[in-house]
Amino acid sequence: MTFEIRPATLADEEDALMLLEQLFEPPGRVPPEYTRGRASAAYRWAVEQPNADVILAFDGNKAIGLTSVYADIQSLGFGPKCWLQDMIVDKERRSEGIGGLLMTAAEDWARGHGLTHIELTSNSARVDAHRFYEGHGFGRAKAYLKWLGQS
């Protein structure tokens, strides 16, 4: 089976947000203060920015996978970083190699932007995702997250 992997366009927004919301199913959860409007604004921002992208996987006309990549900080010790966010493959299409294709596309994007490494976080309950990342050369690191909320 052949899949198409390509940068998202504004016209792909509905399909992309439907995929994104699969991340909220157990063991995930809806982020605090999540709204479809906020997700839409973030999607449009990432698609339109030169230092960010949403990458989609398609089977025919159906979006079946998504990741987003961002040229992030210039680390003093490690160099310019790619932040990988929102890696998701449709729950009905997992274990078909789609995630690996998305990861390769993310790595190519990062190299093309002159970035030295990729970082990501993953919910501690996502054991299958951890196995996937480690299988693609990622090492485990500890990260912390604090939601700031609205003041």
Query: Domain map of the chain by residue range?
Result: 4-135
Mean pLDDT of the chain: 91
Average pLDDT (18-24) is 94
**pLDDT(151) > 60:** no
- How much is the pLDDT for 73? 82
**pLDDT(150) > 90:** no
Helices (H), 9-87: 13-20, 36-48
Residue the block writes with tokens 């929102």 = 86
Residue the block writes with tokens 């992208």 = 53
Question: Measuring CA to CA, which residue among 105, 7, 104, 99 is closest to residue 47?
Answer: 7
**pLDDT(64) > 80:** yes
Reported confidence tier of residue 102, pLDDT bands at 50, 70, 90 = very high
Q: Which of these ranges, 49-53, 64-68, 109-113, 121-125, has the smallest mean pLDDT?
A: 121-125
**pLDDT(66) > 80:** yes
Question: Measuring CA to CA, which residue among 26, 94, 25, 18 is closest to residue 62?
Answer: 18
Measured from the Cβ of residue 70, the count of other Cβ atoms closer than 10 Å reads 19
Q: Is 1 exposed, middle or buried (0-12, 13-18, 19+ CB in 10 A)?
A: exposed
Reported confidence tier of residue 58, pLDDT bands at 50, 70, 90 = very high
Tokens standing for residue 38: 């906020």
Class of domain 4-135: alpha beta
E strand intervals along the chain: 4-7, 52-59, 62-75, 79-89, 117-119
State pTM to two decimals. Answer: 0.90
Tell me, what amino acid is at 97? G
Question: Is 8:65 a contact under the CB 8 Å cutoff?
Answer: no
User: What is the DSSP secondary-structure string of 44-61?
Assistant: HHHHH-TTEEEEEEEETT
